[in-house]
């Protein structure tokens, strides 16, 4: 089971850059393992198409960063912040509290 963070390294949008940095900080601080997937990298085109299709099927805007647990949608950045504030981070990220992931 892998937590995936869909993000981009190519953007001039300071809000997206800041949100990506804060998201990684929150996960690192909570010792949550993840992989980040840069959808602006051509080698990740399949992942980008998956993200676009999934977000469209969920009727969600594709505002980066987006968080998935394997292929299951968890939340966007705002959802992550809400989970931290309500102390439901592990539940929102679909992590097993028994083993940390």
Helix/strand/coil (H/E/C) assignment for every residue in the chain: CCEEEEECCCCCCHHHHHHHHHHHHHHHHCCCCCEEEECCCHHHHHHHHHHHHHHHHCCCCCCCCEEEECCEEEEEHHHHHHHHHCCCHHHHCCCCCCCCC
Domains of the chain (ranges, CATH numbers): 3-92 (3.40.30.10)
Q: Check: pTM over 0.85? Answer yes or no.
A: yes
Binning pLDDT at 50, 70 and 90, where does residue 1 land? confident
Which pLDDT does position 93 carry in this prediction?
Answer: 97
Instruction: State the average pLDDT over residues 7-29.
Output: 96
- Give strand pairing partners of 51: none
CA-based max dimension of the chain = 40
Which pLDDT does position 100 carry in this prediction?
Answer: 47
Which pLDDT does position 99 carry in this prediction?
Answer: 47
Binning pLDDT at 50, 70 and 90, where does residue 98 land? low
Instruction: State the average pLDDT over residues 47-61.
Output: 96
């Amino acid at each position: 089971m892998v937590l995936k963070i869909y993000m981009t390294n190519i953007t001039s949008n300071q809000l997206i850059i800041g949100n990506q940095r804060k998201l990684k900080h929150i996960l690192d601080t909570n010792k949550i393992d993840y992989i980040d997937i840069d959808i602006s990298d051509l080698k990740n085109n399949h992942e980008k198409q998956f993200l676009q299709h999934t977000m469209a099927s969920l009727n969600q805007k594709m505002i980066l960063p987006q968080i998935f647990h394997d292929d299951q949608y968890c939340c966007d950045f705002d959802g992550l912040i809400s989970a931290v504030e309500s102390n439901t981070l592990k539940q929102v990220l679909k992590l097993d509290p028994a083993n940390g992931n």
